[in-house]
Amino acid sequence: MNMNKICIVTDSSAQFLHPEIAERKNIHIVPLKLNSLAGPLDANAFNDLDPIRHHYSVPSTAPKAEAPGTDLFSETYQKLQSTSGTILSIHASGNACSVVANALEASEQFLGRMNIQVIDSQMISIGLGLIVEAAATRATRGENIDSLVRLVRGMIPRMYMVIFLEDLMYLERHALINRSQAILGNMLGIIPFLTVEDGRIIPMEKVRSRSRALEKIIEFVTEFSEVEQLVLLYEGEEAFAQANILSDRLKALYPTAPITILGYNPYLATFVGLGGLGVVVLEPEQEAL
């Protein structure tokens, strides 16, 4: 066993800038389940929304994500024990699902045998993916576990996300508003924004048109004097076209920041449905005075 090797573990709610990153950087992914009315969807369903988007057309019957059980985490950690004595396990917000709690419970079985650090990223989708990728990159450079934990904990408060959605019934589905509010809002053409704060997915504000929603995204991003990375998340042709418009405008404002346009994954779709558009902002680390 190479005791100096650090293994990075995450779950399949994580989305990466490029699909091959997980394999290339030796990131171990514990799969969530995606359950539809027709039964469990293929494990690979988390990689691409397009083949299963028809399942999301009706919010009340859309797929639901189920966190990996403690036994699956135990099995993953057990397999990695033969190659490493240290694991950094980074997962989707514990306020969004029970994945962190299950990982922590599994890690307790290895006390005294392995050093397993479980971290709640307080993020979902690409926000989680960016954190995991950064940790995996540093791990390949030989940094120790304490350094990686500091890196991850330092990135969490610098990650921000907003996204608007088309159908308020998705908010009702997750008990963020009641049914009558969702029905009335849909009748009035209300477009709500969601944000992630302290790991909680919460409604932020509402607008009456997609054009106003685009302006709100611009307003949100321009609150940051500098950005380290921007990712525009979309679903559908209309949202893709609007993401390109946003990208051009943001490039003019932040010419040195990497800007990526990315179709969001099925896990995020369980919260926002189809047709959504949003942005994830990674703020630069502040230099110590």
DSSP type of residue 146? H
CATH 3.40.50.10170 in the chain: give the residue spans.
6-157
Structure token digits, residue 141: 């450079």
CA distances in angstroms from 182 to 33, 133, 148, 176, 194, listed in the order given: 27, 37, 42, 10, 14
Instruction: Give pLDDT tens digits along the chain (289 positions).
Output: 455 689 999 999 999 998 889 888 989 999 999 998 878 887 666 778 998 999 998 888 889 999 999 999 999 999 999 888 899 999 999 988 899 999 999 999 999 999 999 999 999 999 999 999 999 999 999 999 999 999 999 999 999 999 998 888 887 887 777 778 777 776 887 888 888 888 888 888 888 888 999 999 999 999 999 999 999 999 999 999 999 999 999 999 999 999 999 999 999 999 999 999 999 999 998 764 4
CATH 3.30.1180.10 in the chain: give the residue spans.
159-282
Question: Can you count the helices (H) and strands (E) in the chain?
Answer: 10, 13
Dist. CA 138–CA 148, nearest whole Å? 7
Q: Identity (one letter) of the amino acid at 56? A: Y
Positions of E strands within the chain: 6-11, 27-30, 33-36, 39-40, 64-66, 86-91, 115-120, 159-164, 191-197, 200-207, 229-234, 259-263, 277-282
Which own/partner contact pairs does 189-193 have at CB distance under 8 Å and 24+ positions apart? 191/164, 191/165, 191/166, 192/164, 192/165, 192/168, 193/162, 193/163, 193/164
pLDDT for residue 288: 47
pLDDT for residue 83: 86
Structure token digits, residue 188: 């009035």
According to DSSP, the residues that pair with 230 across neighbouring strands are: 259, 281
Model pTM above 0.85: yes
Q: Identity (one letter) of the amino acid at 45? A: A
* DSSP string for residues in 107-144: HGGGTTT-EEEEEE-S--HHHHHHHHHHHHHHHHTT--
Dist. CA 95–CA 171, nearest whole Å? 15
| Phi and psi angles of residue 213, each rounded to the nearest 5 degrees, phi first | -65, -40
Domain 6-157 in this protein, CATH class = alpha beta
pLDDT for residue 4: 64
According to DSSP, the residues that pair with 260 across neighbouring strands are: 231
Domain 159-282 in this protein, CATH class = alpha beta
pLDDT tens by residue, 229-275: 999 999 999 999 999 999 999 999 999 999 999 999 999 999 999 99
Query: SS3 of 39, please?
Result: strand
